[in-house]
Chains A and B, each alone.
Chain A
């Protein structure tokens, strides 16, 4: 990726963050922390990696994305809107009665959402089913699923991990948004899922650990994942919860809370500053 392409992604990621903040602020509820930590991953997947067409969201040969950590929906919605699946205005109606955008992803109502998720642990299993269907039908689409590092405390995650490796789902790529925080505190204090990389390796995955905010590293890892044969891939993306908003960064308290008017202004200002700097460079 050249400098111009990288800058384009960085600008888009900033807009994803602005969209996520907008949605959570307007809804007066929702999950900003994990939306911001995953924003660069959403951006890379939708704008550089996945074979998808917003004009044909039901295409049988499309790549699939399952947001297993479904609460990061505001970030996903912003990426889908920027990609052109629906107008960005939908974001300001997030979580309202009659809105297209539900609190957690709803595949029936939202174009571009490949699986309804929100109950942690379940999206990964569905992603395995999609990958298996592709293999049975000899289709060449790939399946990506994003897990939270808190989410992997769910037992179903490891049932799915065993399944993926057993069925050699090498066109399945699991990304762990390793922001280190969950609702009750740090993941290490609450339930200690570490070492995450060794766990996935022991379950038969090709494992890479990267900086989840570096587009160079994301690109390198996903390019490597394409070449792996016989094993599913896991990318452990080290991220910062609340990334890009000064007062939200590394704060477990911003897992599932909306900013008030003043906080919203600060958050927008933080992100707009980054955006202006990128656009001016």
Chain B
């Protein structure tokens, strides 16, 4: 039975940690004074002895996580994406990535949908940064069910993982049962032959809406959900390029170094086709309601559909 829930993926993350705690006693959770916002408070309140508030000191938090992992723990080091992936980038690279320690770096409040807090907190570079760390797995789940499955997969994966969380509530499109998450495997949400839209995270539900609109207008678009940006599902991406010839990527992230570049990186070598990247175009965000910002930056169904129509016209 498909139960629809409207929930931010940060909340799904907190719930997942709490639910996995008994089965995985080595899991510990670290936060940097943002437990209520990142929802690690859900874990903290149930398992206070396995929760470490590191205070406003993200670089130390990542280093502490590395030390904990070297002693067999599975730490989830959590803060806003700007700080866990941004501020502590070098600690992630040198203390976690290089020794290949079993630390999960978690970045909440990613993208412009942070909203009112404005540019300093709207991290649109985390995926790019985390992709550059050798051996780092980069996950960007799209809805409640996907996030819960992704957290479990991250616990079971031995090695560094980055997980991106969103602030904004998103209506689930996956089912409570029958959803299967496989690390590194994209999911074709809708088949189509005219072009392929490849979306990630918050943008997947927007892209689903766009695909439905396009269908009414006679455009048969394929939609792929990429929850694992690294390692990316090369086979699925290449097949989409071969079969549909045109690709649009959609991400709430800079067009530099994110999903779009990962897709181009695969296709330029294996099946060069036209790729149009929708994302944040080398800009900072600013304050405002999340939904208005997403519209302003073209991160909505209308702009995705409009872009698709233009791509079809030009072909």
Binding site for B on A (CB under 8 A): 60, 66, 106-108, 114-116, 118-119, 121-134, 136-137, 155-156, 159-160, 162-163, 166-167
Q: Across the two chains, which residue of chain B brings its CB closest to A143?
A: B67
Candidate in B60, B70, B72, B95 with the most chain A CB atoms within 10 angstroms: B60
Q: Mark B36-60, 1 if CB is under 8 A from A, else 0.
A: 0000000000000110101101011
Binding site for A on B (CB under 8 A): 28, 49-50, 52, 54-55, 57, 59-60, 62-73, 75, 90-91, 94-95, 98-100
How distant is A215 from chain B, measured CB to nearest CB, in Å? Answer: 29
Given contacts A108-B99, A136-B28, contact A122 B73 (CB under 8 A): no
**A114-B70, A128-B67, A156-B63 provided; 5 other pairs, C-beta below 8 A?**
A115-B70, A126-B64, A128-B63, A129-B71, A159-B59
Separation of A60 and B49 alpha carbons in the complex (Å): 21
A130 touches B63 (CB 8 A): no
Separation of A126 and B98 alpha carbons in the complex (Å): 13
B64 touches A119 (CB 8 A): no
How distant is A123 from chain B, measured CB to nearest CB, in Å? Answer: 8
Secondary structure dominating the interface of A: helix
5 interchain residue pairs of minimum CB distance: A129-B67, A125-B63, A133-B71, A159-B60, A159-B57
B68 touches A160 (CB 8 A): no
Residues of B within 8 A of A137 (CB): 71
Given contacts A60-B72, A114-B70, A156-B59, contact A132 B95 (CB under 8 A): no
Residues of B within 8 A of A136 (CB): 28, 49-50, 73
Residues of B within 8 A of A155 (CB): 59
Given contacts A60-B71, A114-B70, A115-B99, contact A129 B59 (CB under 8 A): no
Residues of B within 8 A of A159 (CB): 55, 57, 59-60
Separation of A162 and B33 alpha carbons in the complex (Å): 14
Separation of A267 and B190 alpha carbons in the complex (Å): 72
Residues of A within 8 A of B94 (CB): 116, 118-119, 122
A116 touches B98 (CB 8 A): yes
Separation of A81 and B264 alpha carbons in the complex (Å): 48
B99 touches A133 (CB 8 A): no
B100 touches which one: A66, A108, A156 (CB < 8 A)?
A: A108
B91 touches which one: A107, A115, A118, A122 (CB < 8 A)?
A: A122
Residues of A within 8 A of B100 (CB): 108
Q: Across the two chains, which residue of chain B brings its CB closest to A109?
A: B99
Residues of A within 8 A of B28 (CB): 136
Candidate in B52, B72, B73, B95 with the most chain A CB atoms within 10 angstroms: B95
A128 touches B60 (CB 8 A): yes
Residues of B within 8 A of A123 (CB): 63
Separation of A115 and B98 alpha carbons in the complex (Å): 10
Residues of B within 8 A of A118 (CB): 94
